[in-house]
Amino acid sequence: MSKQRQFGLESREKKLPDFSMLLLSVGQNQDKAAFADIFQHFAPRIKSYMLKLGSIDDVAEELAQQTLLKVWRKAQLFDPEKAAASTWIFRIARNIRIDALRKQKHFFDDDYDLEGIADEQENAENKVSREQKSLNVTLALSALPKDQTRIIRLSFYDGLSHSEIANQLEIPLGTVKSRIRLAFGHLRKSTHLESGEMA
């Protein structure tokens, strides 16, 4: 039994296009059809991401629009060796969300994909594409205990702070933090194993 089947991801994976290829094509050729595919998948999800922080429907939709337009403008900077498409789009959406919905500075370097991350462990032999790594993390995420995935979701997708998560789930803040630590520990272990890196 393949791992993908085991975690019930195979069908979901099959339906999704290769967003890295699409994003590359947008960057290199200003490919509007590829942009439309990215838009159709991500805009409704970015809208729901924006809605979670309590923004009203119109605002959430507008922020989703802004995010996708920024994807279009910055697509030339996208490098599939440095980030999976979903990671790259998440960064843009998150930064817009902090600016607009939290109304505070975000301190992320908007263009840092250019510089990339010094990744000494990643030599040519065991280079695994970022999309593949991302799939490995997806598999590892789906294998986590439910209480851990729930907290990861509330934190990264619903945008709740750790104390807000504690309130919502009616558990102590310390428990939220220890579940996060456990989850990250598991993820790190399994994704290192999957990609052949040393922990």
Partner 1 sequence: MSIHHHLSDTTLGAFTAGTLIETISLVVASHISICPDCRKRQDQLENIGGIQLQFAEPEGMSSDALQKAMIKLGKQELTPVFSPADTSPLSSSSGTALSFGNPEVPKPLRAYIPDRLEDVEWKPIAPGIKYFAMEGLKTANGTLSLLKIAPGVNIPEHGHQGIELTQVLKGSFRDEIGRFGVGDIADFDSDIKHQPIADTNEACICLIATEAPLKFTGLLPRLVQYFSVM
Cα gap 173→166, rounded to integer Å: 5
Compute the least distance from the CB of residue 5 to partner 1, in Å: 17
Compute the least distance from the CB of residue 121 to partner 1, in Å: 9
Tell which positions 52-91 bind partner 1, by CB under 8 A.
60-61, 64-65, 68-69, 72-77, 83-91
How many residues at the interface with partner 1, by CB under 8 A? 84
- The number of residues making up the chain comes to 199
Q: Which is nearer to partner 1, 2 or 191 (CB)?
A: 191
Cα gap 62→80, rounded to integer Å: 27
Amino acid making up residue 94: R
Cα-to-chain-centroid distance, residue 12? 16
By CB under 8 A, name the one of 3, 127, 150, 177 that touches partner 1.
Answer: 177
By CB under 8 A, name the one of 25, 42, 63, 148 that touches partner 1.
Answer: 42
Q: Is 160 in the site for partner 1 (CB under 8 A)?
A: yes
Compute the least distance from the CB of residue 171 to partner 1, in Å: 14
Tell which positions 84-123 bind partner 1, by CB under 8 A.
84-91, 93-95, 97-98, 102, 104-109, 111-112, 114-115, 117-119
Tell which positions 128-147 bind partner 1, by CB under 8 A.
133-134, 137-138, 141
Q: Which is nearer to partner 1, 111 or 170 (CB)?
A: 111
Cα gap 63→76, rounded to integer Å: 21
What sign for the dihedral angle of Cα 168, 65, 115, 124? positive
Q: Which is nearer to partner 1, 25 or 68 (CB)?
A: 68
By CB under 8 A, name the one of 39, 55, 63, 80 that touches partner 1.
Answer: 39
From first CA to last CA, the distance across the chain in angstroms is 27
Nearest by Cα to 136 from 41, 4, 2: 4
Between the alpha carbon of residue 71 and those of residues 24, 104, 137, the distances in Å are 11, 21, 23
Tokens of 152: 């990861």
